[in-house]
Amino acid sequence: MNAILISLFLALPLQDVTPPGEVVQQDPSDSPTAGPESPPLEVRAIQLRNGSLHWAQVVEHDDSGLLLRRIENGGLVRISWNLLEPRQAERLRIDWGYVSTESAELLIEVDRLILHNGSEVLGVIENREGADFTVRHGGNIQIVPKRAVKNLSSGMQVPALSIYSRDQLYSREAAQTDLTDPVAHNELALFCERILDFQSAVRHYEGALELGIEDGDGQLVRALDRAKVKAALQGQVDYLHETDILQRRGQFDVALERVEKFPVTFPGSPLQKELARTKMNILQARERALIALVRRSWNIWAQRLSRKAASGTSFEAATGYASEKLGQDIRAAVLKDAQKLASDLDLEQLDVFWIARARRRYSHASYGNGTWLLGEDRALAGTPTQQGNKPSKGGGEKDAERAALEQKIKRFLENQKRARRARSSADEADSFQTGWADLSGSSRAQWLLAFYIEFSGDYELNPRPHLRKCSTCAGRGVLESIGIGGRGDESGGVQIEPCSVCHGVGSVRRIDYR
């Protein structure tokens, strides 16, 4: 692609050339209503990557490239920096203050300690002896009791300056460097740039040149010039890097406050693009952190508040709370957690982060043996209505008896359903209250959580729930017993009564959500 763009630049009038993704700007002097002519622009020799040289005026420039007016025909074209000869591109970027402060930052491997309280410590374990870990991070030492560590892993890479101070890193590297060797000086200068110590980098680049290092193509001289520009801005570079460290530690409000103070602290700074990039990084990191926190905290508070509501003894109060108030209380609790990362967050924004959560695998919630408390219609909703076993077509005496029994069970269940419908609301409430009281506290909490998840609208549900057969009645809704002494009725003495666990529903309802 670069070769194609270069050939177009060489072969065509620039006003006719539009590199992919760029917009050609028309020369204002072409307009009959154009105002007074601007001062003439400096003519520069622009060398492309293929070595060809062209005379052009630089109309404007930014971090992405140049807008040029070619002398031959006055046409305008925008070209990216990577189309220029690399050394000239680097020199121009230095001259115009496009300074990168983050591309080659030194990274080191650290240990990650997950504590039982849910927090974590990232650092280098310097001592594993005894009852404690000695961990270095942020330039300091922290003692972490081994009994407080739930999990320990290694291999994660983080910026070295988030663990060690700049002086610590420089002193350790300089102690291993032969300062009589110009190549070693150059390597130490490169290391200094990676730890953002540009004043030391200047000193060691100059040392390498003084000791006569070979620099035929001038690469080291250009590196020295670049380091001098950065050294002159060392305070600003450090300010932005410290802001970035705060962002990595999750202190987003403090980091954003520093970004807002930067133009006041450093008026006229040439690092405006780096400042904008730092702010964007903070906002994006905060958004990712908030989405993860809201998802995690929402599920935690849903379980906690369901347990709290289940501690009461009233079925009506518990279901009323799950229907109307539980979602509000979850939002209030999650908002309080999230405001530790973003103090200006409100409920409307909270819902946006909840909707944006990652939705991968489904989780499960079950009503357990309290499924019948939903009522038969809700308990079986979303699945084919359960039917009794079809009689065998064998035609034998046993099959006929079985078919007769199935018919009796069917009539019994229909009578039970009619009886429930005829029952007064007070009687039904008493029945539900008794069933609710019979459930254990954990079963009531599980029931309320499933109820909130299914009917609140806050979760995405798998449209097809799972119904498991009641383990007591095998999904039939009734229990059979043989009366002692038999009465000679058509069932052969078999007595039928509702299942005492599922109360005729025959199923345990489970929903999948995410």
For residue range 367-388, what is the model confidence (pLDDT) as tens digits? 999 999 998 888 888 876 544 4
For 405-458, the pLDDT digits (tens) are: 566 556 555 655 555 555 545 556 688 898 899 999 999 999 999 999 999 999
Residue 10 has pLDDT above 50, yes or no: no
Q: Which residues contact 169 (CB under 8 A, 6 or more apart)?
A: 106, 160, 161, 195
Query: What are the C-alpha distances in Å from 458 to residues 284, 453, 511?
Result: 25, 7, 14
AA letter at 397: E
Q: What angle do CA 39, 41, 44 make, to 5 degrees?
A: 165
Yes or no: say if 364 and 386 are a contact pair by the CB < 8 Å rule.
no
Burial class of residue 105, CB neighbours in 10 A (0-12, 13-18, 19+): middle
Q: pLDDT category, 503, cuts 50, 70, 90?
A: confident
Residue type, 293: L
Rg, Å, the chain Cα set: 37
Residues near 59 by beta carbon (within 8 Å), at least 6 away in sequence: 25, 41, 67, 68, 69, 76
Mean pLDDT for the stretch of residues 102-108: 69
Residues 6+ apart with CB under 8 A from 402: 391, 392
- Per-residue pLDDT at 251: 93
The pTM of the full predicted model, rounded to 2 decimals, is 0.64
HSE of 355, CA atoms in CB hemisphere, 13 A: 7
8 Å CB contact between 296 and 287? no
Sheet of strand 140-145: strand arrangement: 140-145, 132-137, 120-127, 107-115, 149-159
pLDDT, residue 483, reads 56
Question: 314 with 433: CB under 8 angstroms?
Answer: yes
Residue 362 near residue 462 (C-beta atoms within 8 A): yes
Higher pLDDT, 4 or 319: 319
Mean pLDDT is lowest, of 11-25, 385-399, 491-505, for 11-25
Q: How far apart are CA 184 and CA 186, in angstroms?
A: 5
Amino acid at 125: I
Give the per-residue pLDDT at 253: 95
Whether residue 174 contacts residue 188, with contact meaning beta carbons closer than 8 Å, is answered with yes
Mean pLDDT of the chain: 80
Percent of the chain beyond pLDDT 70?
78
Percent of residues, the chain, with pLDDT higher than 90: 42
Question: What's the pLDDT score for residue 485?
Answer: 53
HSE of 492, CA atoms in CB hemisphere, 13 A: 10
N residues, the chain? 514
* Phi, psi of 340, deg, nearest 5: -70, -25
Here the contacts of 134-143 (C-beta below 8 Å, separation 24 or greater) are 135/111, 136/163, 136/164, 137/110, 137/162, 137/163, 138/162, 138/163, 139/163, 139/164, 139/165, 139/168
C-alpha span between 154 and 148 (Å, rounded): 17
Look at residue 291 in the predicted model and tell me its pLDDT.
Answer: 93
Summarised one tens digit per residue, pLDDT across range 200-245 is: 999 999 999 999 988 877 888 888 988 998 899 999 989 998 999 8
Domains of the chain: 2-95 (no CATH), 107-164 (2.30.30.100), 282-355 (no CATH), 367-387+396-513 (no CATH)
For the cut 60, the answer to whether the pLDDT of residue 262 exceeds it is yes
Residue 366 · residue 510 · CB < 8 Å: yes
Query: What are the two backbone dihedrals, phi and then psi, of residue 115, each rounded to the nearest 5 degrees?
Result: -95, 160
Give the model's pLDDT for residue 385.
Answer: 52
* Number of other residues whose CB lies within 10 A of the CB of residue 426: 8
Q: Which residue has the higher pLDDT, 323 or 423?
A: 323
Q: What was the pLDDT predicted at 327? A: 95
The total of other beta-carbon atoms located within 10 Å of residue 409's CB is: 19
Cα–Cα distance for residue pair 19/23, rounded to 1 Å: 8
pLDDT tens-digit series, residues 328-346 = 999 999 999 999 999 999 9
Q: What is the mean pLDDT of residues 25-35?
A: 38
The highest-confidence range among 43-47, 400-404, 452-456, 485-489, by mean pLDDT, is 452-456
Residues forming beta bridges with residue 115, ordered by sequence position: 149
